[in-house]
Amino acid sequence: MNEKTALAVRHHTNGNPLDVLVVEPMPVPEPGPGEVVVALRCAVINPSDMGMIGGSYGRLRALPAIAGREGVGEVVEIGKGVTEVKVGTKVRFPEEPGVWREAGTFAAKDLFVIPDDVPVDQSAMAFVNGLTAYMLLETFAADLKPGDWVVQNAASSALGFAVTQLCRARGLRTLDVVRDLRWENPLKEAGADAVVAEEPDYSKNIKAITGGARVALGINTVGGESVIRMIKGMSDAGTVVTLGGAATEAVRFPTRFLIFNDLRLRGFWMDKWTRTHTPEEYKEAMTGVFQLMAAGVLKMPVEKVYPLAQVKEAVARNLEKGRSGKILLVGDWNV
């Protein structure tokens, strides 16, 4: 019997993704007892993928490594004794040892089943940005009241769209800060109450924008001067949560606002949340995300879909400015 193989996107060193990524065949073992073969149907390119490939992320894989953290696959072959899934079941493509590959063989008991009523492209984006937005608000917005405001920078990102939509569902109002106002209409359609350009003096206008209502939560994924502007617009006893640093500058918090405005400065890392909570808690959170996706409450934009073999073209586009949504990778491998 000829051994089955499938293409995988790997890197043998850390570095610029366009320099170090290679597409090469890897074996797909026959499923043993309790095992299944899962074929990739849709994967996502996220900033954390670039950090893992480049070597700057908080958790790195042993080299050589398969790239990618997030995606959805389909069970295409089943070993003896498998009862958890069947051929055709949609599952999360296991994050380890890497997602950007056409197929792999896994223990059936470890698979996370995707509900049938969630579109494949949206379900592929549920596990990083979808879950992050959901748990971010579950953690930091639980005590907010309808009508309170949430301000976020980099609001045109997939996470920003998710936060905007979930805030609307909670009755919270959002002030979305963007570098390019071409995002104003799409974000307002997603539920944003106000969209402003990332300019030095936007914080001076926050009271006029919000009508003096409480700006209770700030979500920072940029850092640098952007978060300083955000802090200056927060209400007393507000919370600013940092979960990214796109500006690659130190996150600096003005001392006077800590003292006189009693701001809370927090951090959030979805990876840590996942590792420190039980499988039951994780499943409960993901169930909440999928219910929102199935109801059409949560829907993240997609710009373009590339075949897995064209990963370098996909990554190049992902690294460019001016995207209108996520870049996805798809596979069509079958037994």
Count of Cβ atoms closer than 10 Å to residue 321 Cβ: 6
SS (H, E, C) 266-323: EECCHHHHHHCCCHHHHHHHHHHHHHHHHCCCCCCCEEEEEEHHHHHHHHHHHHCCCC
Q: Pick the catalytic residue from 57, 202, 282, 306.
A: 57
CB-based contact 33:85 (threshold 8 Å): no
Q: Positive or negative, the Cα torsion across 92, 187, 274, 271?
A: positive
Question: Could you give the count of Cα atoms lying within 13 Å of 273 in the half-sphere of its Cβ?
Answer: 20
Instruction: Return d(Cα 219, Cα 300) in angstroms, integer.
Output: 18
Annotation marks residue 306 as catalytic: no
Strands 90-92 and 103-107: unpaired
Question: Which structure tokens are listed for 32?
Answer: 């043993």
Instruction: Return d(Cα 257, Cα 248) in angstroms, integer.
Output: 23
Instruction: Return d(Cα 42, Cα 92) in angstroms, integer.
Output: 10
Question: Which structure tokens are listed for 100?
Answer: 């950007």
Q: Would you name the residues annotated as active-site residues?
A: 57
